[in-house]
Amino acid sequence: MRRLRLARFSEEADSGTYLPLNLYASDRAISIDYAIMEKVSNIALVPVSFTWSDLGSWRSLLDSGMTDESGNVMIGDVVAVDCENSCLRSRGRLLSAIGLKNVAVVSTADANFVAPVAESQHVRRVVERLGKCYLLETKLTPSHNHVLLPALDASVLHTCFQ
């Protein structure tokens, strides 16, 4: 029997909050522990009775329990048929998938990302390679509506995408 699942969330609910590009680009990549917690002397701790999971990978999102009956996490406009244990996220357009197992797919207005869940934590490698190709998707946040592109030598793109 084929399983069909349709998930719809409003664009507003998925829009997020983004820093202006100049602040985001100038900020160092550093954990909150080093950036704040180790430098502040007047900290108070409050005991709580809930579990916490740092959702730092697609695997941890799947393990969080926010899945459908087939083990999928679906966010945005997503149609999944016979998919299992996959993370499917779309922003701004419909994403449809058939027969995926253990795959992360993220679709946004400017880029798509597809990887086995077990390898998806290595997205930094892709971002580094794209940065070497001078692609602006590695520099901007989704809050930008448009970008004025400078002239680009076609040989750069040929070198990066052979």
Total structural domains within the chain: 1
Instruction: Provide the percentage of residues in the chain whose pLDDT is more than 70.
Output: 62
* Residue 70 counted as domain residue: yes
**What does the pLDDT look like over 44-85, one tens digit per residue?**
878 888 776 666 677 777 777 688 999 999 999 999 999 999
pLDDT surpasses 50 at 113: yes
Cα–Cα distances in Å, from 122 out to 81, 103, 133, 156?
27, 14, 18, 24
CB 144 within 8 A of CB 120: no
* Residue 127 counted as domain residue: no
* Residue 152 counted as domain residue: no
**pTM, 2 dp:** 0.57
* Residue 161 counted as domain residue: no
**What does the pLDDT look like over 8-36, one tens digit per residue?**
433 444 445 555 666 656 667 777 777 77
- Classify the C-alpha dihedral 71-83-15-17 as positive or negative: positive
**Domain of residue 96, residue span:** 4-12+30-121
Compute the distance between CA of residue 108 and CA of residue 124 in angstroms, rounded to an integer. 17
Residue-level pLDDT at 71: 92
pLDDT surpasses 80 at 40: yes
* Residue 110 counted as domain residue: yes
More confident residue, 129 or 155: 129
